[in-house]
Structure 1
Amino acid sequence: MLTEVTSKPAAASSWIPGPSLPLPAGDQTPHPTPLLSPRTTAAVLHTVLSTTAEDGQADVEAITRLWARGEPIRSLPRKPRQTLRFGVQVLVDLGEAMQLFARDQRELVGQIRSVAGLESTSVEYFADIPTRGSGPGGRRTWRDYTTPSRGSRILILSDFGIGGPAFHDRRGKPAEWLSFLNKVRREGCSPVGLVPYPPSRRPAWLTSSLPLVLWDRSTTVGRAAASVRR
């Protein structure tokens, strides 16, 4: 047998709302951590971008050896020094595999210009491999790649085909990269790669054909110098 149930609605709350919390001050947007340590970025870049010039101070030891052997000094021996005076070309890979690092690329290009100087720095963009086309602007403006002036340092911001989707059909082939590296060396330029992947992921053909610097917070000036010398 059903029994009728009666209930009274709950009494209305008498609470009074208090003041709203203050709005946060400043920009609260989270900023990704840069790949290179901000404290050492300028020094690391100077090490990576510099080339060797045989126009330093007079090499007293070499001069002394020539005198001791009675040999004529036809040109003054000088010690090598690191310099940025030959200019820098930055090649920025915009291929699918490097999209994850797009923000880091943009920030690094600005830092490179600060270190090497606006007039001494040129920037070219490409996708997967420079020889398929490159340029300082959008993809529609890309043309055949042009080697910079003799003596320039060429810094390549790329994964060299290491990362990206497994079936990325436009990935730069080893033969293409080797051909490109041979071309710029014949023109008297010195290429260096800045790679966001550790040595354990680099193929043998790449490590044996190009100085590679790890694009990571663990990279110090000493490690960068050792990588460039290698």
Structure 2
Amino acid sequence: MPEPPWLGRWAPGVMFAAASTDVPGRTVDERLLVRRLGGRAYVRELPYRTRATTRRGIQLLLDGGESMRPFRADQRWLRDLAGGVVGRDRVEVLRFQGTPLRGVRRVGRRERDGYRAPAAGTPVVLVSDLALRRLPFSGDAAAGTVEWGDWLDALRRAGCPVVCLTPYEAWAHPWALRRRVSLVPLDRRTSIGSAWRESRRVRGEVRR
């Protein structure tokens, strides 16, 4: 087993950041309340601090394309990590090639089914390079930016936040995709804090 892509002491926190969503808590956000009152805004209801939860589970999508072959061990490690952090019964694991729009397979099955987005609000955790490293002579087997963008837009309309765990730095991906999806590198320099910030960036959520 090669060295895991995230530091052991940080790995559960990084996965929690990617797999969780923020919901209203029970503690009043005093700072936000004071700011609103200071601006003489009419306060109809008290603002509450948010808290992160994994109670909605996740859909975990594993890219089985040729360019991701060197990272198969990382995918197995991430699948086990997600099960430990979220709960195995709350993780739907699907494999695909190209993009999920071309069909998905469940673990242990050869049959390919049409892709279906999870229930609205359920995070989608994608392990893929988003075809950043297209292999020579791959032809149509490797999806392009437009196809990936179409899939990401469909998930946004379905109300599902998407975080992509990528073997490469976020800046290496095309801007057309970076503005649509949060990108958390599979890199031992990835910290829990950077994973929190990036996983909330596209959604416009700020953890308080």
TM-score by length of 1: 0.78
What's 2:117 paired with? 147
What's 2:84 paired with? 114
What's 1:94 paired with? 64
Matches of 2:49 and 2:182 in 1, distance apart? 23
Matches of 2:2 and 2:156 in 1, distance apart? 36
Matches of 1:130 and 1:107 in 2, distance apart? 21
Distance 1:35 1:164, change over 3 A: farther
Q: Which moved more, 1:165-174 or 1:134-143?
A: 134-143
Given that 2:67 and 2:135 are in contact with CA atoms closer than 8 Å, whether structure 1 keeps it comes out as: yes
What's 1:190 paired with? 161
Q: 2:19 aligns with which of 49, 59, 63?
A: 49
Distance 1:72 1:37, change over 3 A: closer
1:214 equivalenced with 2:185 (yes/no): yes
What's 1:20 paired with? none
What's 1:7 paired with? none
**How much identity, in percent, do the aligned residues show?**
33
1:227 equivalenced with 2:192 (yes/no): no
| Structure richer in strand, relative to its length | 2
Give CA-to-partner distance per residue, 1:173-219, whole Å, 9 cap, x none.
21111111111111111001110012453222222221101111111
Given that 2:170 and 2:184 are in contact with CA atoms closer than 8 Å, whether structure 1 keeps it comes out as: no
Distance 1:81 1:218, change over 3 A: same
What's 2:204 paired with? none
2:16 maps to amino acid: H
What's 1:136 paired with? 106
Q: Measure how far apart 1:35 and its partner are.
A: 1.3
Q: Which moved more, 1:155-164 or 1:130-139?
A: 130-139
Matches of 1:71 and 1:57 in 2, distance apart? 20
Matches of 2:135 and 2:43 in 1, distance apart? 62
Matches of 1:227 and 1:63 in 2, distance apart? 26
Structure scoring higher RCO (CA < 8 A, sep ≥ 6) equals 2
Distance 1:190 1:103, change over 3 A: same
1:40 equivalenced with 2:10 (yes/no): yes
Matches of 1:148 and 1:70 in 2, distance apart? 38
Q: Give structure 2 stretches of 5+ with no counterpart.
A: 202-208
What's 1:27 paired with? none
Give CA-to-partner distance per residue, 1:122-155, whole Å, 9 cap, x none.
1111112000001323563221101111111101
SS at 1:80's partner residue? Answer: strand
| Structure richer in helix, relative to its length | 2
Matches of 1:62 and 1:223 in 2, distance apart? 23
Q: Which has the larger radius of gyration?
A: 1
TM-score by length of 2: 0.86
Corresponding residue pairs, total: 199
Matches of 2:91 and 2:67 in 1, distance apart? 25
What's 1:201 paired with? 172
Given that 2:153 and 2:180 are in contact with CA atoms closer than 8 Å, whether structure 1 keeps it comes out as: no
